[in-house]
Amino acid sequence: MSWITVLWSINVGACLTLAVMYLAVWSRERESWLYLIFSCIAAAAAFIAVFELQLIRADTSEEYGAILRWRALPVWVLVLSLVGFTRLYLRAGRSWLAWSACSLKTLTLILNFVFTPNLYYLEITALRQLSWGGEEASIALGTPNPWSLLNQVTLLLLLVFFADATITVWRRGDRQRALIVGGTTTFFGAIVMAQFALVVWGIIQAPFFGSFAYLGIVVALGYQLSDDAVRAAHLASELQIGEERFRRVVEAAPNAMIMVNQEGQITLANQQAEKTFGYPREELLGRPIEMLVPERVRSGHRGFRHDYLCDPQARPMGAGRELFGRRKDGSEVPVEIGLSPIHTSKGLLVLASIVDITERKLAELEAARQRHDLAHLARVTALGELSSSLAHELTHPLTAILSNAQAAQRFLADDDVDLDEVREILNDIVTQDQRAGEVIHGLRQLLKKGEPQKHCDDVDLNEAIRDVVQLMRSDLINRNVTVDTDLAQNLPAVTGDRVQLQQVLLNLALNGCEAMGDYNSSERRLLIASQWENGAVQVSVADCGSGIPEEKMQQVFERFFTTKKEGMGLGLSVCRTIIDAHRGKIWATNNAGCGATFHFSLPIVGVGKQAVITD
């Protein structure tokens, strides 16, 4: 057997082997059309090699012409398959170039079967036996067909298409594919075009051996597909390892972790999810996520899920709302949920991290109760400081009641009773009794210890200021403090707890009085003012004391911070807690002349009104 036969047979065997192998791969992965296209390329290259071997061994000019005519058929398949492979694999190459090249190649195939003996020769006059590497090879002698130039134009257009795709992929940054697929196809295609044209036009005396250039293309494409397959297998292995690690991390998470697909079905749940909701994992997987949503809000949950899938991003679920989950026994559990989208080859998945906040809710209630107790303690402490003045405040009307009652007894003991005088005495008794009752009622309100309220009333701060000033009247007299008020007319109401807001006013007023304790009585003046603007009511209590050192300005509202020798540091801290609970602000400033002013502002009724939990 000659070396020509051996060499071309190896070429045919290599191409057919690759064609069969990738056809088998495509039969298992039907969605990967690249494998089928490559199988066509390799099979066409094998048939081209077979026809070339027959051309070398041809005995007559008629046989040579017929073989050359039928050789065009696998070449046409090869060209169309290469164009399709380039477009599909590289996702490059101008579409108009691809369509033009394929259309021209189809036209040349048709013309090839129209002309006799073929598109390349008008006439083959004889065959010449050429000594080629010690072997005899047949070459054609004849007249070239001018229409064969159309085939050269087609090949040139193909080279432009492959070069354009190569440049595009190179600029894209995928240089390996650009070189191996685009570069190899362009290089070997140029060799085929040049060799075929030189042989047909008689410029060189040699048999056709373009099949080996096609073999180079097939080997390069096969290598790239194999490399991709190895990388895909490696990536799949890494993904499998990563998925296993992901599952382990999810399983070890301290929170309940549940993964849901786009249809709302649970695809993953960890052990903590079983504990939180009371379901075995087998009862969760494949079930709709709505089974873990309370029935009272279940109807709207699908809409929320659809909205999230339209704009998936990592964020908390139900921001600003209280969320509850439903356990297997039907009970509800307060939760916080964080959502994270995960994009996979199987579509979008959503990982929900669910935290059971039952203990936190209980702790918050306990903290609220403690703050409530602390506020009550601060009120009692403040009233303790007023005890002597309050005793005098009550003693005065009680003494007046006693004196008037004794006078009435004496009048009634006389025979001649002046009823008008008795009526005046009784009216005075009623007035003094009402005064004492108001004092006692104010004390009872401030001393009363109730539960934290989830609703508040509309409070007139001007009226609250007047009540506090009336309650402190005797104490202000004892301290020689003059109180001036500058209250805005038609002041809007605020939403709040009246007793607690009175406590704030009382604490601020007492602080102002104590700040002026070392000053002359003529300088002890307290100004309480109210005003409203920008949807809020602002109250200020200004004293004429020594002011607040700048370095301590930020500390005055901290718990247990005090500048008094015997103070507990609770008054201003409680004031801040109360104002914060009312969605307000409290702050302090030093006056331009002397003393300090404490301010607080509260939103008026109807501006951002909502339920407030007070202490």
Q: Pick from 14, 13, 169, 181: which is nearest to 91 by CA?
A: 169
State residue 609's pLDDT score.
43
- Given this model, what pLDDT does residue 66 score? 93
Q: Is residue 560 within 8 Å of residue 378, measured between CB atoms? A: no
Backbone angles phi, psi at 267, to 5 degrees: -110, -15
Residue 222, pLDDT above cutoff 70: yes
At 78 the pLDDT is 95
In percent, how much of the chain has pLDDT > 90? Answer: 31
Tell whether 478 is covered by a domain: yes
Quickly count helices (H) and strands (E) in the chain: 18, 15
Q: 384 falls in which pLDDT band (50, 70, 90)?
A: low
In the prediction, which pLDDT does 130 show? Answer: 86
Nearest to 356 by CA among 251, 249, 246, 253: 253
For residues 441 and 518, state if they share a domain: yes
First to last CA, the chain: 105
Kindly report the CATH number assigned to the domain that includes residue 47.
Answer: 1.20.1070
The 10s digit of each residue's pLDDT in 446-461 is 555 554 444 467 889 9
Structural domain contains residue 285: yes
- Examine residue 241 and state whether it is found in any structural domain, yes or no: no
The answer to whether residue 17 scores a pLDDT higher than 60 is: yes
**Reported confidence tier of residue 615, pLDDT bands at 50, 70, 90:** very low
**Are residue 393 and residue 531 in the same domain, yes or no?**
yes
Would you say residue 548 lies in a domain? yes
Q: Do 331 and 478 have their domain in common?
A: no
What pLDDT does 105 receive? 92
The beta strand positions in 266-400, using DSSP E, are 266-269, 315-316, 323-326, 332-344, 347-356
Among candidate residues 233, 266, 284, the one where a domain is terminated: 233
User: Do 372 and 306 share a domain, yes or no?
Assistant: no
Strand-pair category, 135-144 with 256-260: unpaired
Which CATH number does the domain housing residue 303 bear? 3.30.450.20
Domain boundary among 335, 356, 377: 356
Dihedral sign, Cα of residue 264, residue 269, residue 272, residue 277: positive
pLDDT for the residue numbered 421:
73
pLDDT at 346: 72
Indicate the number of domains in the chain: 3
Most confident of 335-349, 355-369, 405-419: 335-349
Q: Tell me: do 130 and 263 sit in the same domain.
A: no
Residues 158 and 196 in one domain: yes
Kindly state whether residues 108 and 202 are assigned to the same domain: yes
For residue 47, what pLDDT is reported?
A: 95
Q: Are 45 and 220 in contact (CB under 8 A)?
A: no
Are residues 198 and 59 located together in one domain of the fold?
Answer: yes
Both 371 and 352 in a single domain? no
Predicted confidence (pLDDT) at residue 387 exceeds the cutoff of 90: no
pLDDT, mean of residues 61-76 = 93
Residue 396 has pLDDT above 70, yes or no: no
Is the pTM higher than 0.75? The answer reads no
Q: Are residues 374 and 349 in the same domain?
A: no
- Sequence-ordered list of residues with C-beta below 8 angstroms from that of 506, at least 6 positions apart, any chain: 379, 382, 446, 468, 471, 472
One domain, residues 350 and 384: no
| Mean pLDDT of all residues belonging to the chain | 83
Compare 492 and 311 and report the one with higher pLDDT.
Answer: 492
**CATH at 589:** 3.30.565.10
Would you say residue 27 lies in a domain?
yes
Residue 240 lies in a domain: no
Choose from 58-62, 192-196, 499-503 the range with maximum mean pLDDT. 58-62
For the segment 458-488, what is each residue's pLDDT rounded down to a tens digit?
Answer: 889 999 899 888 878 777 887 888 999 999 9
The closest alpha carbon to 46, from 14, 84, 70, 23, belongs to 14
Cα diameter, the chain: 171
Mean pLDDT of the region 111-122: 91
The confidence score (pLDDT) of residue 362 equals: 83
SS3 string of 356-375?
ECHHHHHHHHHHHHHHHHHH
**b/e burial code for range 223-260 (CB count within 10 A of at least 16 → b):** ebbeeeeeeeeeeeeeeeeeeeeeeeebeeeebbbbbb
For residue 263, give its domain range.
254-356
Identify whether 238 is part of a domain: no
**Closest Cα partner for 602 from 467, 412, 464?**
464
In a domain, 481, yes or no: yes
153 and 20 co-located in one domain: yes
